[in-house]
Amino acid sequence: MQKNNLCKKTQLLIIGAGASGMLAAISARRTARSLGVADERLGIVLLERNLKPGNKIAISGGGHCNLTHDGDVKNLLEKGFLRKNEQRFLRHAIHTFSNADLLALFGRYGLKTEAREDGRVFPVSGRAGEVLDLLRRMVEESGVTLITGARVERLECAAFGFVLQAGERRFEADAVILATGGASWGSAGTTGDGNRLAASMGHAIAPVMSALAPNYFTVPPRAELVGITLRNILLVASAEGASDSRRGDVLISHRGISGPACLSLSRSVAGFHASGKPVAISVDLFPGHEAGTLSAFILDQAARHGTRQVRTFLQRTPLAPERHDAPDASSSTETIPNAFADEILRQAGIDREVTMSGLTKAQRLALVSTLKRLALGTVRKVPLDRAEVSAGGVALGEIDPKTMQSKLHPRLYCCGELLDYAGEVGGFNLQAAFSTGWLAGSHAARTLFDKPQTAHE
């Protein structure tokens, strides 16, 4: 009976009921209604392979749902997407449906939000479930047919549009939006289906790899280091001449490292690792301070406190001090953790009992070298099943950034994490999913009813 109803009207099928898919459905209906198109003339079907929509929304932000990031669009793009091609690609979508637009939409449905000092925006309740309930209500009010437990196995072009096969069910569509998400956190149901479907339609797929993920080491960190956070240091990944780095906090875990700097750097680490090169992870405990400045500071401290043990000196020395002339031992900033003082001495080859005045020149240079490049480990794995998002996916060059429409097939759209971009931690990826989904749904509805898109929706 459902199939017969679907055949009587223009059909828009959206594959994936996550952030981008639900926003695409809501946007498509709102656009159609704004054009005077009655709901019975446009059938919108939302197909979800999981039994419930929005699984990744439910676990985002540690279950608190970091919806978006505060600030203007320019700042959001530059802070959230470090690669220029990704900024260019997402600019139109996020301008069209910005963080302000998103919060205004949710606000009309009663969601109260708050922006934290770091710019991250959360619901005041701190519950991702509240956001999901709100989205489901909007989908329902949009007259969308939601079908769960429907994994699309095949997508093909037909004379009238597209044919989709999901188990024993066959669907016909005038337009299709792929909003399946990426391939990270497979337990949430995002296992790369969209890449497979897009590839079957001829789209190039950039290699999928982890982003915003922990790093697992070949040899786990020493037990005494596990649980320690190194704050505001420079994390460096090196692989046979190639390197990348991030400034921020790093958490030492029982398998390797995590924390904001690690998550941000993980995309580069995964890329190095995928090339087969060994990837060494180290930290600079004094970013912004040259080795010569640090050496002079140690000499000065030796002259002032010659009988003090080097270990005590390290324990009292600020970690990642901001002053660029010399580290300030009297500063109130956080100091080097005790366990890391021992690790620094071990890597520098200095006995725990050595005093400042007893440091030889060779030992001082070894100490400086270790402080500027403290080895943490060699990467064994950047686990995709623990990544918050995945990089790679449908090549951006094959998607029109002003519409999210495929350049290969009219009325085929791709949006959300399925696309080859990956944002930083802080709500940027959800915002991009919401924005690209909104744009895809709006343009699809306009195209189906032969209405030209305005310059700014």
CA atoms of 91 and 163, how far apart (whole Å): 32
Domain assignment present for 29 = yes
Whether residues 197 and 111 fall in one domain: yes
The residue from 382, 415, 436 where one domain ends is: 382
Which burial class, exposed, middle or buried, applies to 223 when counting CB atoms under 10 A from its CB (0-12, 13-18, 19+)? exposed
Q: Which residues contact 379 (CB under 8 A, 6 or more apart)?
A: 215, 216, 217, 218, 237, 256, 269, 272, 273, 278, 279, 280, 281
Amino acid identity, residue 431? Answer: Q
Q: What's the confidence (pLDDT) of residue 200? A: 97
Domain assignment present for 456 = no
Q: What's the confidence (pLDDT) of residue 393? A: 96
- Helix 428-448 vs helix 73-80: crossing angle, to nearest 10: 120
Question: What is the torsional sign of CA 24, 185, 68, 196?
Answer: negative
Amino acid identity, residue 344? Answer: I
The residue from 360, 382, 404 where one domain ends is: 382
Q: Which residues contact 170 (CB under 8 A, 6 or more apart)?
A: 3, 163, 164
* DSSP SS3 for 274: helix
Q: What's the confidence (pLDDT) of residue 3? A: 40
Q: What's the confidence (pLDDT) of residue 456? A: 40
Residue segments in the chain with a per-residue pLDDT below the cut of 50: 1-7, 324-325, 331, 452-457
Whether residues 224 and 302 fall in one domain: yes
pTM, two decimal places: 0.91
Whether residues 260 and 168 fall in one domain: no
CA atoms of 411 and 444, how far apart (whole Å): 7
Strand partners, 166: 169
Whether residues 414 and 351 fall in one domain: no
Helix residue spans in 326-360 (DSSP H) = 338-348
Q: What's the confidence (pLDDT) of residue 138? A: 97
Q: What's the confidence (pLDDT) of residue 185? A: 73
CB atoms under 10 Å from CB of 439, counted, come to 31
Strand partners, 235: 246, 283
Number of domains in the chain: 2
Contacts within 8 Å (CB) and 24+ apart, 81-86: 81/421, 81/423, 81/424, 81/428, 81/432, 82/424, 83/421, 85/396, 86/396, 86/421, 86/422, 86/423
The residue from 364, 382, 400 where one domain ends is: 382
CA atoms of 393 and 428, how far apart (whole Å): 18
Q: What's the confidence (pLDDT) of residue 2? A: 40
Q: What's the confidence (pLDDT) of residue 9? A: 84
Q: What's the confidence (pLDDT) of residue 4? A: 40
CA atoms of 25 and 19, how far apart (whole Å): 10
Residue 61 DSSP class: G
CA atoms of 444 and 450, how far apart (whole Å): 10
Under 8 Å between Cβ of 317 and 327: yes
- Which CATH number covers residue 59? 3.50.50.60
Whether residues 145 and 277 fall in one domain: no
Residue 179's nearest CA partner among 378, 441, 453, 457 is 441
Range of 342's domain?
214-382
Whether residues 147 and 239 fall in one domain: no
Domain assignment present for 176 = yes
